[in-house]
Every structure is written in C-alpha cells, then in structure tokens.
Chains A and B, each alone.
Chain A
Amino acid sequence: DAKTTQPPSMDCAEGRAANLPCNHSTISGNEYVYWYRQIHSQGPQYIIHGLKNNETNEMASLIITEDRKSSTLILPHATLRDTAVYYCIVRVAQGGSEKLVFGKGMKLTVNP
C-alpha cells in the first residue's frame, strides 16, 4: 500500500492561505491522491482528489509535484471553520475495489 506522511499539526492565521503538505514517495503511477478532513466530532468530509495535474474546486487547490512524490493542499483564505484534522490518502486497491485508508492526519488550527 502506498503510504502518506503528514506533519502532525500546523497553525495558520485566519484569512491567510493554509498550505498542507503530504509526502507519498511510494505512490504508483495510477494511484490518486485524496484529501479529506474531519471537523471535531463530525464525519469526514471529502475535499479534493488528483492524479498528476493540479486541481481546484470551491474548497481548495491541490498541487502535485511532477514526480508525484508529494502534494500540497491549499486553502486560499483559511477561516476558523477550517480548523480540522486533514487526511492525505492514497487509494488502496483490494479485490477490484478501492478503499479509503485513513492515517493519523494533520491537525490544522486556524487562529483569529
């Protein structure tokens, strides 16, 4: 299984961009990178995913390095509501299906 490495925590000032790094040096060529987050006591929330091109949606941007060994999730204007645990995940295939395997994630704290 391709694994990911994230710092355990990060702080960010409200209104500033939050850049959340993730290393996935063993990722295979056809494996996607997924980002989810879990706000305290809630169910995880899908944010974005990508293969090799940069991706952007209404929540965030995902920048994947050319060698695909790392990526950065960017929250362009962090708000207090973005305080959460963020999970960077590489898909795991099992028996023709794929599943999300959550690691420890990274706690982002957005400060006023």
Chain B
Amino acid sequence: DTAVSQTPKYLVTQMGNDKSIKCEQNLGHDTMYWYKQDSKKFLKIMFSYNNKELIINETVPNRFSPKSPDKAHLNLHINSLELGDSAVYFCASSQGRRPYGYTFGSGTRLTVV
C-alpha cells in the first residue's frame, strides 16, 4: 500500500538510552517532516527535509538528530532519552514545501521510564 510507514509503533525504553525511529514513504514525495504530540495532544513540528536538505529545524534539543539518507526516508535518532521525551512522534510527507496534502504516518508512541 502507498503510505507513510513508521517503525516501531511502540517503543519503551529507559532514561539515558539512545533510540531511533524510522520513517519511509512510497508516495514519491520530496518533503518529509517529524512532528511530536505530547500528553496534552499538541502537535508540534520538529524538523522538515526537502530532497534530503534540512529546511525546518524548530527549537529542539541537540539530542534529537534527524537523518535523511534519501528523499523517501527520514529517520529520527534520540540520544540520552529523558522522561519528557515521552510522546507520540509522527512522520509526514508532502510534495513540495506547501502544507497541503500532508500524509501522516500512524505514529510511534515513545515511553521513557
């Protein structure tokens, strides 16, 4: 199926660990995003890549590092996990830099204990 797929769907880990979340889209889009949805349900953009180039980098701790090996993939690596990193992380993609027609993945629920 054409989609934005994220792995893993659930991730439980201890404080201080390093973890990665992978995202892949087969829609042929050239722009990908990471959003974070916290416990209060606010969705906030973290990063955006266009053709592997970082174009949006919100105020996110340096412990978060996105990597885009090609335009179909945008992975999120998190170092030294903290309790406050617990959230649902959504990957999304779009064609071009305009915010219509974003396709979101189903999310990765990260729980830091």
List residues of chain A with CB under 8 Å of any chain B CB.
Answer: 32, 34, 36, 38, 41-46, 49, 85, 89, 91, 94-102, 104
Contact = CB atoms under 8 A, between A and B. Distances in A.
Given A44-B43, A97-B50, 19 more contacts: A38-B43, A41-B107, A42-B106, A42-B107, A43-B104, A43-B105, A43-B106, A44-B90, A46-B103, A49-B100, A95-B55, A96-B55, A96-B97, A97-B48, A99-B48, A99-B56, A100-B99, A100-B102, A104-B42
Sorting the interface of chain B by its residue count into under 10, 10 to 19, 20 to 34 or 35 or more gives 20 to 34
Given A43-B92, A43-B104, A44-B102, A99 B45 contact: yes
A100 B106 contact: no
Instruction: Name, among A32, A44, A95, the residue most crowded by chain B CB atoms within 10 Å (CB to CB).
Output: A44
Nearest to A42: B106
B-side binding surface: helix, strand, loop or mixed?
strand
A46 B98 contact: no
Interface in B1-48: 4, 33, 35, 41-45, 48
Contact of B41 (A85, A96, A101): A85
B101 interface: yes
A32 to B, nearest CB: 7
Contacts of A36: 102
A34 B45 contact: no
Question: Nearest 10 CB-CB pairs, A to B?
Answer: A43-B104, A102-B43, A97-B97, A100-B99, A49-B100, A97-B55, A98-B99, A44-B104, A43-B90, A91-B99
A49 B99 CA distance: 9
B88 to A, nearest CB: 8
A59 to B, nearest CB: 12
23 contacts: A32-B100, A41-B107, A42-B106, A43-B4, A43-B90, A43-B106, A43-B107, A44-B92, A44-B104, A46-B100, A46-B101, A46-B102, A89-B99, A97-B50, A97-B55, A99-B33, A99-B48, A99-B99, A100-B45, A100-B102, A102-B35, A102-B43, A102-B44
